[in-house]
Structure 1
Amino acid sequence: MDIERSDLLAGIGQDAIAALTQGRHGDPFAVLGIHRHGVFTIVRIFMPGADAVDIIDTASGNVLTACQLVHPAGLFAAAVASKLDCCLRIKWPDAIQVTEDPYSFGPLLGELDLHLIAEGTHYNLSRTLGAVAMEVDGIAGVRFAVWAPNARRVSVVGDFNSWDGRRNPMRLRAPAGVWEIFIPRLTPGERYKFEIVDANGTCLPQKADPVARASEAAPSTASIVASSTPFRWSDDTWLHTRQSRKSLEGAMSVYEVHVGSWLRNLQDGNRSFDWIELSQRLVPYARDMGFTHIELLPIMEYPFGGSWGYQPLGLFAPTGRYGTPEDFAYFVDRCHGAGLGVILDWVPAHFPTDVWGLSRFDGSALYEHEDPREGFHADWNTLIYNLGRNEVKGFLIASALEWLERYHVDGLRVDAVASMLYRDYSRNEGEWVPNRYGGRENLEAVEFLKHLNSIIHQRCPDALMIAEESTAWPGVTRPPEQGGLGFDIKWNMGWMHDSLTYMSKNPVYRRHHHDMMTFGMIYAYSERFMLPLSHDEVVHGKGSLLAKMPGDDWQKFANLRAYFAFMWGYPGKKLLFMGGEIAQPGEWQHDQSVTWDVLDQPRHASMQRLVRDLNGIYGREDALQFGDLDPQGFEWAVVDDAANSVFAMLRFPQDRSYSILVVSNFTPVPRYDYRIGVPTEGIWVEEFNSDAPEYGGTGLVNGAVPATSSSLNGRPASLSLQLPPLATIFVKSPR
């Protein structure tokens, strides 16, 4: 169909053409695609660098019309019949491309989606924003969408358009501030980013997709179109029975793991194991060791390996370091098949300043605060999410749900909660902004955490929400309707600090610090607590757990054995960082493997056996579980023997049908005929002794011990024990 060039450009001013060809046009759909002009239907295509563009019949491939080059920068146009099943054939200097025109498709996102995004209540963002492989009008491709309300122009760029921001500028869906486009014939695996021109006309560094579900492995930074095909799960039985484990009444022993350094392949360049290899090695190991859960340091995509994942930028994408999203799903599936829960560390407290990330995403402080007194952590050189903004809150909640719902993860451990709760966290006077009442509490963060936990417990009632909160903020594990933050468990940082400080003392001086081991019981039931011996205690010059113990080599091991047993006998869920179970001699290095070779030495192998046995007795004894969260399950039997550095605890099941006496002697001096008051007469049996020969101890054991009617310390019976040096024993009453 012959038509004049002027008609092909009818209704388009020179300014609009210049803006389009220079990559500054904010509404490309007003120029490109199909437009009606009088009796003509005009198609305009902008393909910089193309030699020619033809419009062809989709079915036959026959040329319907050749497009005219109406602007030398690469703007082509043609007049066509009003209704044609056609597509484009683009001749490049070195290739022929056949595709549908992205600008022939109408708006993609529904008004409800846009409303919920703006409201901050769209909790399925990864199915709406980001890159979604799908069909539109029967044509397969990828829909891209990104929130950038202050941008003048946004384009999706990738290998498919030579990373040229002029090629695929997107449609703005105001007032939600979301930009969208459908690129036909793209498939999962494509790399992409967003090119953004800010409100001042500055073209920003290309940005990774905030809602990408897959990313290139660092140091590369592109997002990757993830598959929309659902993963084939085999964990139905696990999910159907998870509610019983959510009760928190049973044993919970967590093995904390940094994926990149649990085990490395020294024969293959010291590389980290991937998810498939970890499914074959880590999963059976943790199961055989008797742990109930594996907790992973953050595996959301992060740029800097030295942050261990605690400075993430891809809150919806498993890091590409260890495989694909499907590989990670397989790992979770294998954990569930082995009876192991999976907990992920998740970081809503801050994000790094990398220019290709969230920082000033559309040229404005979009995700962060404008004022650095509210929005910058000098300690970590990171930015703080603006939790007063609905879209940001919705973004974070959607991220949390992504891991729980898409990947079947059993819980999230929320990092650095204290830094969120206090506006003056690690800040000097004048470096922070008070809240509207003049106080230091971050009211927006408080409301966000309450809302986060409410939504998660509504949508994922079986999921665990765990807080790393290092202060005495009240009600961390109280429900929001009762004024609490709504977490299920809180890390007991006070217990960790006090007990490690005590254990690092020379036994000669421990009598002067006796209260460090008893003080924790004053507040032990003010929250639901987990006892964490985490990665934070074995880095930055703190040394390994073994290195913290005083004395010669034998005493170091004995101290650590006694401490582990004390911890497993003390109320609270348990967490141990990898390497601790084998008494790794040196502190953790994130780019090296756990030093598994020390298991060739009997003392290290014995420590591993001890932890395995502690998990075993914890898992089978109700008396060691019930009192974790209920004060009716715990009593001090000996609390004031500072002179001998002896502690004794009684643990009970809910029906109090029996009890277990946990006794620790934290001096290298054996205590013979040490009498303790107990609730029942009869034969008590020693179930565990950290000084047993199989653990590398001296072998001072008790066996069966009679408890007589001789009352002591207000209890109707008592028994006499031999307390081994630097040891903890568990003695079980008759039923």
Structure 2
Amino acid sequence: MAELTFMGELDLFLFGHGRHNRIFDHLGSRVGTMDGSFGTRFALWAPHAKSVAVFGDMNFWDPSTAYYLNPEGDSGIWQGFMVGVGPGQRYKYRIETQWGGVVERVDPYARQSAEPPSSGSVIPYDSNYDFQDDGWMSTRPTYLGDKAISIYELHLGSIARDPSDPSRHLTFRELADFLLPHIIETGFTHVELMPINEHPFYGSWGYQTTSLYAPTTRFGTQDELREFIDRFHQAGIGVIADWVPAHFPRDEFALANFDGYSLYEKDDPKMASHGDWGTLVFDYSKPQVRNFLLGSALYLIEEFHLDGLRVDAVASMLYLDYSRNDYTPNIFGGNEDLDAIEFLKYFNEMVHQIGATTIAEESTAFAKVSKPTYDGGLGFGFKWNMGWMHDTLAYLRRDPMYRSYHHGEITFGLHYAFSENFVLPLSHDEVVHGKGSLYSKFAGDQETKVATIRALYGWMWAHPGKKMLFMGDEFGQISEWAHDQSLDWHLLDNPVHKGIATLVSDLNRIYKSHPELYQGDSNPASFSWIRANDADKNLFITARFSLSGTLICVANFSGWRYDSIAIGLPEAGEYEVILNTDATKYQGRGVENPRKIVSRPNECDGFSDSTSISVGANSVVWLYLKK
């Protein structure tokens, strides 16, 4: 049993400056002993409060017998120890405001929350889980830029449901039993969980959380979540979670006007609201708010062995005028949120120090998002390449006969592909809210749609940048994603959809074994165009290089096959065909080439050596030369 203490002078100083990296050990509710007595220590930051009291299961929710906390000078911290109160009991804070009102709030630092629709905090049990992932954690690389990273994004509540009761979510254990064999078979290196924090509105998918320290209870206990992550680690698969420090919901029991005044949100009414989502914006100018957010990130990574955080809506944090016509500029008259920028830099530094990575969902041209802070960057490990995603899907959505007029939508992305450490994201955002599934986006009959999906993946896996698919994309989900129902796993019984899954498995297998495809993702010397301007044929030919070999990607996005088409080769030698998305094993038409192709000393595409290959309609072929 832990021996508890109240926050001391150093703790208060660090928190007041936003630099207490273990603030989660001091604020919130903790069970232990004080002066020989068993009980629970409570600590809360509420600087505008006139008084703060705890009430809940321990006093039958009777406000008249609530336990009052003591203020710690002018720090805004209120602390107290309730003798005999133990884990599992629900509670709230009853806050008397400076203006005479009373508000009831959940604990911002609660490590456990009541399952929605209830809204109380829960005094946490100490974890009894013994992680068995020492091998993974001790060898987990701190830098992933030169590693093969292939991410499978998923929503825990809808990836699969109980077949006998489709309204029932699977538990963490059931999800691990179901998912692990699939992830291993398809070869992804990481899974990315959409937000795991508790959120009252299930339809927000977790992006409107009220408990940044408490994982959701919808799928089981916190130790069962630990076991879920541990099992993936033992299988050699990393686990990333989405994290939302950009905004929070207006639920009256949570952070909004927490102590009767704007506390976690910005004080300026013009800047406090987020118009797109109807939420409130965190005030990064307050050190204590920055520390609250930082503590959440470090706590989740440490307690649950997460390998990284994908930070949601970073663009909305960086710009004061994001989705606003009227805004208050920064002290230099600009539109950048300087406080948010400084927070993100420190956050990234601290997360990387404990061996995890960070990924930014950032859609603007803000410079150096994924560059180190010492180089003037924000310090993220990676940035989503939203431009690549938008342009590529826009191009492929068109009928092949019109694509030649939009050739630049494919080639333009290579002008900036090496400016950041990019992830190529085909995320949940592209298959929801009327956008349709990937399958439904593309023109033509089933054969053409499926061929286009296969060609997209062949091009994507050969393109600089780490890879990410949303659940269901790996087998060509037909219907748009719905958060309240399972994916259509029965499609894997259809040879056409099974063919897509087989291709994804092969792509990940080849990707992980060919450093040409990942070691130089942010190095322009690792890439070369062989043919970039063949718009009439909708043809794109690229080369990727490493010390061990050269990989050629031939992408035909036209609606017709090309036989014996000449292509230039940067090096002479015997090339091996290692991928053909039109192969019959993927349910393609089977436009094939010999397994070995020898170069000829004939000039083509500006190179002195060349060869001829055949490539099917809406298909991609990879050639490999081992050095």
Residue in 2 aligned with 1:721?
Answer: 613
Matched, 1:300 2:197: yes
Q: Which amino acid aligns with 1:115?
A: F
> How does 1:493-532 map onto structure 2 within 5 Å?
493-532=386-425
Q: Percent identity?
A: 45
Secondary structure of residue in 1 paired with 2:456: helix
Is 1:170 the counterpart of 2:63? The answer is no
Q: Distance in 2 between the 1:109 and 1:371 partners? A: 31
Q: Deviations along 1:235-286, whole A, 9 cap, x unmatched?
A: 1111111026x33212100000011001011313521111111121112321
User: Of 326, 346, 351, which residue of structure 2 is paired with 1:451?
Assistant: 346
- Show the counterpart of 2:373: 480
Residue 141 of structure 1, CA deviation: 1.4
**Deviation string, structure 1 residues 8-30 (Cα, Å, up to 9, x no partner):** xxxxxxxxxxxxxxxxxxxxxxx
Alpha-carbon deviations, 1:407-435, whole Å to 9, x = none? 1110011110100111110112xx21111
User: Which of 445, 458, 461 is residue 565 of structure 1 equivalent to?
Assistant: 458
Task: Give the structure 2 partner of residue 96 of structure 1.
Answer: none
Quote how far apart the aligned CAs of 1:138 are.
2.1
State whether structure 2 residue 564 is matched by structure 1 residue 668: no
- Quick check: 1:688 aligned with 2:579? yes
Query: Does the C-alpha gap of structure 1 residues 484 and 666 become closer, same or farther in structure 2, counting only changes over 3 Å?
Result: same
Other-structure match for 2:102:
203
Hey, what's the Cα distance between the residues in 2 that align with 1:181 and 1:699? 73
Letter in 2 for 1:202: G
User: Match for residue 144 of structure 2?
Assistant: 247
Q: SS of 1:121's equivalent?
A: coil
Closer, same or farther: CA 270–645 of 1 in aligned 2, 3 Å: same
SS of corresponding position for 2:49: coil
Matches within 5 A, 1:545-694: 545-653=438-546, 655=547, 657-694=548-585
How far residue 107 of structure 1 moved from its aligned partner, in angstroms, is 7.8
How far apart, in 1, do the equivalents of 2:269 and 2:506 lie? 50
Deviation at 1:109, TM superposition (A): 2.7
2:241 to 344, 362, 379: 344
Residue 424 of structure 1 aligns to a residue in which SS?
Answer: coil
Query: Secondary structure of 1:344's partner?
Result: strand
2:47 corresponds to 1:156: no
- Maintained 8 Å contact 1:454/1:486: yes
1:310 to 2:203 alignment:
no
Q: Could you tell me which residue of structure 1 aligns to residue 312 of structure 2?
A: 415
- Answering whether residue 620 of structure 2 is matched by residue 731 of structure 1, we say no
1:119: how far off? 2.2
For residue 466 of structure 1, the aligned residue among 359, 362, 365 is 359
Q: Deviations over 1:558-590 (max 9, x none)?
A: 111101111011110000000101100011000
Determine if contact 1:147/1:179 at 8 Å carries over to the other structure: yes
1:212 aligns with 2:74: no
Contact 2:188-2:508 within 8 A present in 1 as well: yes
Q: Give, in whole Å, the separation in 1 of the partners of 2:603 and 2:520.
A: 24
2-structure distance, mates of 1:286, 1:107? 44
Q: Secondary structure at the match of 1:145?
A: strand
Gaps of 5+ in 1: 1-104
Asked if the contact 2:320/2:337 (under 8 Å) is kept, the reply is: yes
Q: Deviations over 1:278-309 (max 9, x none)?
A: 12111232122100000011111111111111
Aligned residue for 2:179? 282
Residue aligned with 2:450, SS: helix
Q: What's 2:601 paired with?
A: 709
Asked if structure 1 preserves the Cα contact closer than 8 Å seen for 2:187 and 2:509, the reply is: yes
User: Are the structure 2 counterparts of residues 107 and 280 from structure 1 closer, same or farther at C-alpha, using a change threshold of 3 Å?
Assistant: closer
- 1:433 aligned to 315, 318, 328, which one? 328
**Which one is further off, 252-261 or 140-149?**
140-149
**Amino acid of the residue matched to residue 547 of structure 1?**
S
Asked whether 1:125 is paired with 2:23, we answer yes
Q: In the alignment, which residue of structure 2 is the partner of 1:34?
A: none
CA distances 1:462-508 after superposition (whole Å, capped 9, x unpaired): 21111110000011111112211111100000000000000001100
Aligned to 1:24: none
Cα separation, 2, equivalents of 1:553 and 1:251: 32
Shift of 1:637: 1.1
Name 2:283's counterpart in structure 1. Answer: 386
Residue 166 of structure 2 contacts residue 485 of structure 2 at CA under 8 Å; is this kept in 1?
no
Aligned residue for 2:418, secondary structure, equals coil
Q: 1:429-449: CA deviations, max 9, x gaps?
A: xx2111111111111111111
Partners of 1:213 and 1:333 in 2: how far apart?
Answer: 19
Contact 1:117/1:176 (<8 A) preserved: no
Pairing of 1:136-151 with structure 2 (within 5 A): 136-151=34-49
**Residues 304-383 of structure 1 mapped to structure 2, 5 A cutoff:** 304-383=201-280
Deviation at 1:714, TM superposition (A): 2.7
User: After the TM superposition, which of the residue ranges 227-236 and 121-130 deviates more from structure 2?
Assistant: 227-236
- Partner of 1:243, secondary structure, is coil
Shift of 1:734: 4.1
Q: In structure 1, the residue corresponding to 2:439 is in which secondary structure? A: helix
* Kept in 2: contact 1:478–1:485 (CA 8 A): yes
1:214, 1:324 within 8 Å by CA — same for their partners in 2? no
1:4-19 alignment runs, 5 A limit:
none
Label 1:597 to 1:247 Cα distance change in 2 as closer, same or farther (>3 A).
closer
The whole-number CA distance in structure 1 between the counterparts of 2:528 and 2:265 is 48
Partner of residue 442, structure 1:
337
SS of aligned partner of 1:684? strand
* Aligned: 1:194 with 2:194: no
Q: CA deviation at 1:211?
A: 0.4
Structure 1 residue 335: deviation in Å? 1.1
The residue number in structure 2 matching 1:56 is none
> Is 2:419–2:522's contact at 8 Å kept on the other side of the alignment?
no
Higher relative contact order (CA 8 A, sep 6+): 2
Is contact 1:155-1:166 (8 Å) kept?
Answer: no
TM-score (norm 2): 0.97
* Corresponding position of 1:699: 590
- Residues 308-353 of structure 1: per-residue CA shift (max 9 Å, x gap): 1111110001011111111111111111111011111111100000
1:108 aligns with 2:1: no
The alpha-carbon deviation at position 624 of structure 1 amounts to 1.3
Is the 2:128–2:223 Cα contact (8 Å) retained in structure 1? no
Q: How far, CA to CA, are the matches of 1:680 and 1:116 in structure 2?
A: 59
Q: What CA distance in whole angstroms lies between the structure 2 residues aligned with 1:619 and 1:371?
A: 50
Distance between the aligned counterparts of 1:171 and 1:337, measured in 2?
Answer: 46
Moved more, 177-186 or 294-303: 177-186
Instruction: Give the partner amino acid of 1:522.
Output: H
Q: 2: CA distance between counterparts of 1:402 and 1:258? A: 22
Cα 1:601/1:487, change in 2 over 3 Å: same
CA contact (8 A) 1:217 1:319 kept: yes
Q: Post-superposition shift, 1:106? A: 12
- Which residue of structure 1 aligns with residue 437 of structure 2? 544
**Which residue identity is paired with 1:643?**
D
RMSD: 1.5
Q: CA deviation at 1:681?
A: 2.4
2:233, 2:86 → 1: CA distance?
31
| Aligned 8 A contact 2:401 2:559 in 1 | no
- The answer as to whether partners of 2:4 and 2:32 remain within 8 angstroms in 1 is no
Q: Deviations over 1:203-238 (max 9, x none)?
A: 11x211100111112111111111234631111111
